[in-house]
Structure 1
Amino acid sequence: MIELYDYQQRIVNETRQSLAHGNRGVVIISPPGSGKSVIISEIARLTVNKGGIVLFTVHRQELINQIRNSFEQAGVDMTHVILLTVMKVAHRLAILPKPSLIIVDETHHSLAKTYRKIYDYYADVPRLGFTGTLWRMNGQGFQDIYSDIVEGPSTEWLIEHHRLAPYRYFSVKLINDDKLKKSSTGDYTAKSMDDAVGKTIFGDVVRTYQEKTPGQKAILYAHDVEHSKQIAKSFNDAGIPAAHADAKTPTAERLKIMDDFKSGKIKILCGIDLYGEGVNVPDCSVSILLRPTESLALYLQQSMRSMRYQPGKVATIIDHVANYTRFGLPDDDRDWSLMDRKKKQHKNDATPIRTCEFCYAVIPASANICPICGKERVIEQSESEIEEDNSVELERIHGKLDMKADYNSVRYARMKPADAQNMEDLQGIAKARHYKPGWVFYQAKNRGFIKTKVH
């Protein structure tokens, strides 16, 4: 039997009380890394000990295997437990023994038709849904399948009480948001992500890792298989052991890769979502985000993968796609509800944040001195305009302080002036390096980008 933390025992007690009060559907919300599997196992153990049958279901086989291990460690009598993926349950409804309790993990997926088929078939059976994010991209609520919420502790509380690791957050943005297009699901299309990410950023991804977290274990989330493989190759070419795995990777090979990652033989684990939900590698200290998303659930699962607690550990999140600008930071307070919500409700109440223009750390907007690199914030002029004596007007340069390190700022910070192709490039270099406006005019005139008007 596994000993629960106080907050985990509270969740178990409140969940059982809610069922006792007549709620047929209860959703339990607790942040990624808070030990949901331990809570689920304890509820299953108590149900089985009273002679009940537990049906546990989730959308992917890997998560079934993980919960089986948790149940066995918790001393659950497995002869009274049914562990099946959602698809298998839906196909076997007529032959399965009727459960006393249904437990659904990652229940933010549970509005799909397959889940609804199960709920309708077992309409009189109480069900529990577990998730770290009661949130769907289309804004649809959960009020028709759940009637009560039990909330676990906040991410901030878990960090303060040494249940999750504190973290640093860097946003070195390497994609072009203008190319992102949404699909009918509400998230970005594969093609638009491919266009936005491009083919030339892999060296920058490796360089940022080397600068911020050299030698540390990292899980990297790419947007497609080909990019994941190419990035793994870039790390290997740089002498940093890396491997890619996806759903089509043979099981034995995938398990070998995970074992090598746990042992430290592999430092960088690259994939799409295979290492998202349900992965627990406590000494992985870095999450690298290369998949832009409109899904809060996906963002929190991936960004917090490196925050599993170890004494003295500080996690690092490297966000190359500026997902934090859509959702805020992992430990922001969030209000959960069973009801429908407006689609655009990401981070309106979040603490204002910005990116340090020197080290790219994401920090409070009010901080004039970066707590990570110690450098003082550069405040640019609100607006400036340059004119040549001969009435040559240059494009107005807006110096409004950007609240994130965008695609162009990273590109121009690394561009040599000699490589500038036009005025826009020169202005981008000047802004990224904090040159005075006169530098742009001088360079533009010498390069022939400015032509003097003849009166």
Structure 2
Amino acid sequence: MYNLYDYQQRLVDKARLSLSKGSKGVLIVAPPGSGKSIVIAEIARLATQKNGHVLFFVHRQELVNQIRESFEKQSVDMKHTTIMTVGKVVNRLGKLPKPTLIICDESQHSKAKTYMKIFNYYNDIPRLGFSGSPWRMSGEGFDDVYNDMVIGPDVEWLIKNHRLAPYKYYSVTTFNDAKLKKSSTGDYTNNSITEAMKPNLYGDIVKTWKEKASGKRTIVYAHDIKHSKKIAKAFKDAGIPAMHADSKTPKIERDCIMSKFRSGAITVLCNVSLVDEGFSVNECECCIVARPTKSLVFNIQASMRCMRYVPGKIGIIIDHAANYTRFGLPNTPHKWTLKDREKKKKSTNTAVETPIKQCAFCFAVIPAQSKNCPLCGHEVEVVQTEIKVDEKARIEKIESNFKLQADYIVTKKISELKSYEELKAYAKARGYKQGWIYFQAKNKGLIKGAK
């Protein structure tokens, strides 16, 4: 059996206390790598010990297999459990043993229609949700699913108390003044200013890896299959054992690749949306994020894969898309809430490639225009099909005192803004246009050649 750490036992106790006081839904929040599966298994053990029946579901079969192993190790009475993917549960409603407790992992997906169908069917049964990042790109909250939230220790505490590995973070600044072009008037053109601030990929991936993380077991997150295969080939051409896997890789082959990565037979695993949720390899020491993202969930899950605790390990995170400027570093605090976030303007990017596509999380074939997988609830993020790469950009260490864009709120004075990034964040908060940013940056001497 697992011996729970003090903070894990507190999560168990607080969740059970909330249920005993009448809560119908409790969301437990703890960072990736903090041992949520152990907490889940202990709660299931206590429930089945009292002759209760636990229904556990999650969106992917690999995660089902992992939790089954945790249940067995924790001596959960397996005769009183139902462990399935969300799709299988939906298809068997009315045929499964009625549970006394529902447990749902990766609960950031729990607003999906399939999840809600299960919750509504068992509306008289208390439920526990688990998530390392209860956040949705749509801004929707979870207060119609859970009425209470139990929050575990943050990343900084877990690092200081040797429950997560410390890390080094490498990336770039997002503004590339080399792209600025002058017009006939001698001033910079608006188009070149816009181009200089576009999301992009920066730096030579293999060269940077050799400099920052040579020999370390590494997971690479690419933006599409073609890109992932290209990165894997670049590593192999450099004499580094690497393989690619994605949702279309046959299961037997995929399992073999994962096994080789776990054993160390391959050093670099390149993937697309395959190992960012629930995939735990303590030996992983480096994560390379080679895709821009608007998803806080993806950013947290992907970058922290290398922070599973092993004595003496320091995780290396190489962010080639400067995603840290939008979301901060792994130990940047987040204020989680069950309520809706303030809504943002809808994106004008409505491009789709084909009338159907496959969900990268549960592998279901879904309509191409879907914003969420109707089966597992995963939010489908539209990314560029072609990513421009600036291989000459310098990848540098990002210090922990880096300020997130959102930190520069409207109460700051313009005179206090010392960098281009601060001006961008201030303009975003105020709703100012890009021309204002350029004008202020020029006056402050932040743009080369500007007087």
TM-score (structure 1 length as normaliser): 0.72
SS of equivalent residue, structure 2 residue 396? coil
Distance 1:7 1:223 in 2: 36
- Which secondary structure does the structure 2 equivalent of 1:270 belong to? strand
Deviation at 1:110, TM superposition (A): 0.6
**Does the Cα contact within 8 Å between 2:18 and 2:26 map onto a contact in 1?**
yes
For 2:384, the equivalent position in structure 1 comes to none
Residue number in structure 2 paired with 1:234: 234
Please state how far the C-alpha of 1:252 moved relative to its aligned partner: 2.0
2:329·2:400 contact (CA, 8 Å) conserved in 1? no
1:336 is matched with which residue? 336
Offset, 1:233: 0.6
Task: Give the CA deviation at 1:401.
Answer: 4.3
1:172 shift after superposition: 4.0
Of structures 1 and 2, the larger Rg is shown by 1
- Report the alpha carbon displacement of residue 343 of structure 1 after superposing the two structures with TM: 4.1
| Most deviating of 252-261 and 33-42 | 252-261
- Between stretches 246-255 and 99-108, larger displacement belongs to 246-255
Kept in 2: contact 1:137–1:343 (CA 8 A) = no
Tell me: CA distance 1:364–1:145, structure 2 relative to 1, closer, same or farther (3 Å). closer
Greater displacement, 238-247 / 258-267: 258-267
Residue deviations 1:425-444 (CA, integer Å, cap 9, x gap)? xxxxxx99x9x96xx9xxxx
Q: Percent identity?
A: 56
Say yes or no: does 1:205 pair with 2:205: yes
What residue in structure 2 maps to residue 362 of structure 1?
398
Distance across 1 between alignment mates of 2:402 and 2:13 = 41
1:163-174 equivalent positions in 2, closer than 5 A: 163-172=163-172
Instruction: State the SS of the aligned residue for 2:227.
Output: helix
CA deviation digits over 1:85-119, x for unaligned, max 9? 11111111021111010000000001011111101
1:84-123 matches, cutoff 5 A: 84-123=84-123
Unaligned runs of 5+ in 2: 177-197, 346-392, 404-417, 423-444
SS of equivalent to 1:27: strand
Rate the CA distance shift 1:264–1:123 in 2: closer, same or farther, 3 A: same
Mapping for residues 429-444 of structure 1, pairs under 5 Å: none
CA distance in 2, matches of 1:150, 1:209: 38
Q: Does 1:7 find its partner at 2:7?
A: yes
Contact 1:174/1:320, CA 8 A, preserved across alignment: no
Matches within 5 A, 1:324-403: 324-343=324-343, 360-364=396-400, 401-403=419-421
1:252 match: secondary structure: helix
Question: What letter is aligned with 1:44?
Answer: A
Tell me how far 1:283 sits from its aligned partner: 1.6
**What residue identity is the alignment partner of 2:397?**
A
Do the aligned residues in 2 keep the contact of 1:55 with 1:103 (CA within 8 Å)? yes
Whether the aligned pair in 2 keeps the contact of 1:175 and 1:321 (CA below 8 Å) is no
Verify the 8 A CA contact 2:86 2:114 in the aligned structure 1: yes
Q: CA deviation at 1:366?
A: 7.8
Cα offset for 1:359? 5.4
The residue type paired with residue 287 of structure 2 is: S
**Separation of aligned partners in 1, 2:288 and 2:109:** 24
- RCO higher in structure (CA 8 A, sep ≥6): 2
- For the residue of structure 2 that corresponds to 1:103, the secondary structure is strand
- Report the counterpart of residue 221 of structure 1 in structure 2: 221
Give me the whole-angstrom Cα distance separating, in 2, the residues matched to 1:242 and 1:175: 32
5 Å-filtered alignment, 1:136-155, equals 136-155=136-155
Which whole-Å CA distance do the structure 2 matches of 1:175 and 1:72 have between them? 51
1:226 Cα shift? 1.2
Superposition pairs of residues 56-67 of structure 1, within 5 angstroms: 56-67=56-67
The amino acid of 1:139's aligned partner reads G
Q: How far off is 1:364 after superposition?
A: 4.9
CA distance in 1, matches of 2:43, 2:133: 20
**Any gaps of 5 or more consecutive residues in structure 1?**
177-194, 346-356, 368-399, 405-430, 441-455
TM-score, normalized by length of structure 2? Answer: 0.73
Change (3 A) 1:402 1:363: farther
